[in-house]
Chains A and B, each alone.
Chain A
Amino acid sequence: MLLKRLAAAHGVSGDESEVRDILKEEIEGTVEKIYFDPIGSMYACKGTGRKPKVMVAAHMDEVGLMVAGFEKSGLIKIEKVGGIDDRVLVSKPVTVGPNRLPGVIGAKAIHLQKINERTKVINIDNLYIDIGSRSQDETEKLVKLGDYVSFKVKIREIGDNCLSGKAFDNRAGCAILVEVLKEDYDLELTGVFTVQEEVGLRGSGAAAYNVNPDVALVIESTIASDVAGTKEAFHATKLGGGPAITLMDASFITPQKMVDLLVNTAEKLGIPYQFRRLTTASTDAGRISQTYSGILTGVVSVPCRYIHSPFSIINMDDWQNTLRLVKGALNAIAEGGLLE
């Protein structure tokens, strides 16, 4: 399954090449043209010359870590790339650098902790990667300052048609965009696999500038918080509840006619959907919508539990339904659903 391959691939912000290579291989032959920009985003075009011009974007990068220094003992100091809760880093296997060297993030044994230590978060300043080396020299032969680090995780099927693992944010969106690009729509379509979303929406502004579309859709993965101990009012989205349509987040407010188009499309096609009930966090739409004198933009997301952790969960029905909604929305836009 492409999604499993994509999620297993390592692509921390700034180091998206493994993901980009897989995607390029997948879309070659299904689109008219593929090109890249200097930051690393990949563009795939179909229906050149048709109107309207629509851009669909999904970011390739994932949150992770970077090698920040070395200890005499051979342990590796780390810094975070993107938003990770320090609390999920402890006791995890990781992959370091271009040679995919395995390592682990350990913690002081419980036996050696004082009682009051156990209630404190072990923050990143006290966490190290251990690659099994015994000295700084040995480590520096294998690892370089600035090497990217990602979680080492198997992507698995779990429960009722779900997947567990890392980086569904946003390989779920990338895999949808690949499927979207396989079909033809009566419009000019540019699929953009953007870089560096997780470190401040860095890739998508340039992408929108280069494409200059009439309309943009962002395919994302978003927080599902329908878990034990959370009141329903705080369920940002619900796993299995269908694609989440964004109304507002920290960087973007969806124009009403875009919301209407997405909702009407879902209802017409019988696709279950939900609104994202959270106004924090940002997506590429924040940048895209503010490019040139403003671009009409919408966001559709696959709900993801435990997002930005090594073991997040998505539901494949949600993934399929998000794909259906994006395709349906493109057809509706082609039929003039937005722009007359």
Chain B
Amino acid sequence: MEIKRFLTDICEMHGVSGYEHHVAAIIKAALCEHADEVRQDRLGNVVFYRKGKGDGGRPRILLAAHMDEIGFMVTKIEEGGFLRFTSVGGIDTRTIVGQEVLLSARETLPGIIGAKPPHIIPDEEKEKAYKMEDLHIDLALPEERVRKLVSPGDLAAIRREPLMLAGDSLAAKALDDRAGVAVMLCCLQELERLHHKADVYAVATVQEEVGVRGATTATYGIVPDIGIAIDVNHGEMPGVSEQDVSQMGKGPTINIGPNIHSKVNGELIRLAKEYRIPYQLEITPGFTGTDARAIQVTRGGIATGLLSIPLRYMHTSVELVDLNDIRQAGRLLAHFIAAIDTPFVEGLICY
């Protein structure tokens, strides 16, 4: 399946942490043709198993990209049928005023996130950012209908149609981390053309945004020799110093730091050079805010890597990526998988 189409499809679908089943279904349909086996674990992670070929040992490689997105949970139905809500994952309240949402209630209902209009609030209040308790979801329904259809605990996600922009840029919600899921698809497509000894477990993980929980159980179940998380990191944007961000369109970033096994990132860098795949480096002086954080400390410890796609405006509804970075990341991962053999894996515990 074509990457642009796949990515726009999955970004448009909602899948707030813990409720990823709709987006999981689309991902399953697209990735299954490259897998020998597809299964789902109890938390909802979707695992695509692709068998390695050839004699000798078959290293086990886990790829993890999370498919959940940040969203909202209804806390109270106010007089008039307006819904108060809280966040699921890290939401900048300032970015959600005047947005469309889809609420998963007894029916799926369209809504608008509204606030008290500026015309009727004192001037000094206008200088302040809206707080979440100031905002409500407006379903444009009478209160009695709202009370029949909605209960506290119902989830809502931002509704946003992906937008193709100049060059190869795509703006959408939930590119964090559906972009990573698209990298897995690119990688699996690329693997069709490559010989690989390693068994590949490509996992679309759940509940990353609320504490990397999907990656925790997925890694435990798979017991990989190497685990690679694929996520997004901050692309250049106004108000942020250059050293804190990656460049857009200059390739995926390879992470360096205590969360990452140095031989894994060394091999990624070596292969990027060998195959002339553009890449950037990112340092994280502790654990990363990605699935890699959970993978590394599962069971007796797992050699971990992290590949990230530069993304602007993270956790807004207009996250922006360059599709070329995704394609390059898919290529790099595929070459990495094809290069891994038993001696490499054995080397991971030679200190």
Contact = CB atoms under 8 A, between A and B. Distances in A.
Interface string B222-244: 00000000000010111110001
B318 interface: yes
Given A104-B320, A142-B166, A154-B161, A160 B312 contact: no
A132 B314 CA distance: 15
Given A112-B244, A142-B166, A106 B237 contact: yes
Interface residues of A, number: 66
Which of B163, B240, B244 is the most central at the interface, judged by chain A CB atoms within 10 Å of its CB? B163
A313 B138 contact: yes
Given A102-B165, A128-B238, A133-B167, A223 B80 contact: no
A91 B318 contact: yes
Contacts of A142: 166
Contact of A228 (B84, B313, B320): B84
Given A107-B92, A278-B119, A228 B314 contact: no
B145 interface: yes
Which of A92, A239, A280 is the most central at the interface, judged by chain B CB atoms within 10 Å of its CB? A92
Interface stretch (B17-25, B60-68, B122-130): B122-130
Contacts of A1: none
Given A91-B99, A118-B94, A311-B100, A85 B166 contact: no
Given A121-B129, A138-B166, A236 B238 contact: no
Interface string A194-223: 000000000000000000000000000001
Given A106-B318, A160-B141, A113 B114 contact: no
Given A104-B320, A225-B117, A311-B98, A121 B244 contact: no
Given A91-B95, A110-B91, A164-B140, A225 B169 contact: no
B127 A121 contact: yes
A154 B160 CA distance: 10
B136 A229 contact: yes
B166 A93 contact: no
A62 B301 CA distance: 59
B129 A111 contact: no
A126 B238 contact: yes
Given A102-B163, A132-B169, A90 B95 contact: yes
Interface string B315-339: 1111010100000000000000000
B289 interface: yes
A228 B234 contact: no
A159 B117 contact: no
B145 A160 contact: yes
B112 A313 contact: yes
Contact of A85 (B99, B118, B141): B118
B101 to A, nearest CB: 10
Given A106-B312, A118-B92, A133-B166, A281 B119 contact: yes
A132 to B, nearest CB: 3
B180 interface: no
A109 B119 CA distance: 29
Contacts of B93: 118
B161 to A, nearest CB: 7
Q: Is the interface of B mostly helix, strand, loop or mixed?
A: loop
A229 B93 CA distance: 17
Given A93-B171, A120-B129, A280-B119, A108 B238 contact: yes
Contacts of B237: 106, 108-109
B97 interface: yes
A135 to B, nearest CB: 10
A134 B249 contact: yes
B305 interface: no
Contact of B165 (A75, A112, A132, A156): A132
Given A92-B98, A101-B166, A164-B100, A239 B140 contact: yes
Nearest to B118: A85
A337 B96 CA distance: 49
Contacts of A18: none
A104 B313 contact: yes
A131 interface: yes
A288 interface: no
Given A73-B236, A309-B98, A311-B100, A110 B248 contact: no
A85 B118 CA distance: 7
A190 to B, nearest CB: 31
B140 A159 contact: yes
Contacts of A92: 98, 317-318
A236 B317 contact: no
Given A132-B166, A164-B112, A110 B315 contact: yes
A236 B119 contact: yes
A181 B6 CA distance: 48
A158 B94 contact: no
B232 to A, nearest CB: 10
B42 interface: no
A113 B142 CA distance: 39
B314 A87 contact: no
A147 B263 CA distance: 52
Contact of B120 (A102, A156, A225): A225
B126 to A, nearest CB: 7
B78 interface: yes
A145 to B, nearest CB: 17
A71 B249 CA distance: 18
B90 A111 contact: yes
B318 A93 contact: yes
Nearest to B93: A118
6 contacts: A93-B160, A113-B92, A130-B312, A228-B80, A230-B120, A306-B138
Q: Which 7 A-B pairs have the closest CB atoms?
A: A159-B140, A132-B165, A132-B169, A106-B313, A228-B82, A104-B318, A109-B314
Interface of B: 78-80, 82, 84, 90-100, 109-112, 114-120, 126-131, 134, 136, 138-142, 145, 160-161, 163-169, 171, 234, 236-240, 244, 248-249, 289, 312-318, 320, 322
Given A162-B140, A228-B78, A305-B117, 5 more contacts: A87-B130, A90-B97, A107-B316, A160-B140, A225-B116
